[in-house]
Structure 1
Amino acid sequence: MVSIETFRKLALSFPNAKEEPHFEKTSFRINKKIFATFDEKNNRAVLKLNEIDQSVFCASSEKIFYPIPNKWGAQGWTIAELAKVRPEMFEDALIRSYENVMAKKK
């Protein structure tokens, strides 16, 4: 299980990461681009993964990681169930999300 405090601490540990509101969610951004959001109501994170990372994390457990069921999911946006995910697995996915968004800004 990953708490919002742990999520926030990890997300803000990345260089230049910022926390900002995003509609009814909390977003974590790098260079104004979202790499993760937190949905407090549903205790979920949404991460921006590339196609390979998304398939790897989703294959590990379809009940913990799964694509958003729309066009955003096809673009790599992946839900992580925070009540079910192991902290080390979530940290790895969050790192991948941050790196994916950083790579697009170069």
Structure 2
Amino acid sequence: MATGEMLRSLALSLEGTVEAPHFDRAAFKVRRTYVTLAADGLTANFKFTPDEQQFKCMMLPEAFSPVQNAWGRQGWTTGILSKLDRADLRDALEMAWKHAQPGTRRQ
């Protein structure tokens, strides 16, 4: 079972990642934000491409769902951390982190 502290530790281990406040959440970013962690540490919003979002939601429907607004149509996806194991969390973070690298285009 993944936790907010596990997300924080894994995210900050990814090259170039810094943590910054983002409204009532913690944002993890390189050039731009790739994941935000809810204040209660129970959920996180990951920035995937729409295709990646569809895949994650299909493979782990109990853990991932699109954010319910225009952000969700752009690939932002909510993950319920208690439904993820460490490997699933790491995979999601690395997938989102790739899109935040300098030189990558927004999807």
Aligned to 1:104: 105
Aligned mates of 2:41, 2:68 — CA distance in 1: 16
Give 2:38's aligned residue.
Answer: 39
Structure 2 residue 95 is the aligned partner of structure 1 residue 84: no
Q: Is the 8 A contact 2:5 2:41 kept in 1?
A: no
Instruction: Indicate the residue corresponding to 1:72 in structure 2.
Output: 71
Structure 2 alignment gaps of length 5 or more? none
Kindly report structure 1 stretches of 4+ aligned residues shifted beyond 3 Å. Answer: none
Rounded Cα–Cα distance in structure 2 between residues aligned with 1:62 and 1:40:
23
Aligned to 1:14: 14
Within a 5 Å distance, the mapping from 1:54-73 to structure 2 comes to: 54-73=53-72
The offset of 1:84, in angstroms, is 1.1
- Mapped to 2, the partners of 1:5 and 1:50 lie a distance apart of 25
Paired AA for residue 16 in structure 2 = N
Give per-residue Cα distances to partners, 1:43-71, cap 9 Å, x unaligned.
10100001221111100122210100110
* Alpha-carbon distance, 1:42 to partner: 6.3
- 1 CA distance for matches of 2:85 and 2:15? 24
Q: What are the ranges of 5 or more consecutive residues in structure 1 without an aligned counterpart?
A: none
| Root-mean-square deviation over aligned CA pairs | 1.4
CA offsets 1:82-106 (integer angstroms, 9 cap, x no match)? 011121111101100000222227x
The aligned length equals: 104
Q: TM-score, normalised by structure 2?
A: 0.90
Spell out, residue by residue over 1:4-24, the C-alpha distance to the aligned partner (whole angstroms, 9 max, x if none): 221111101111110000000
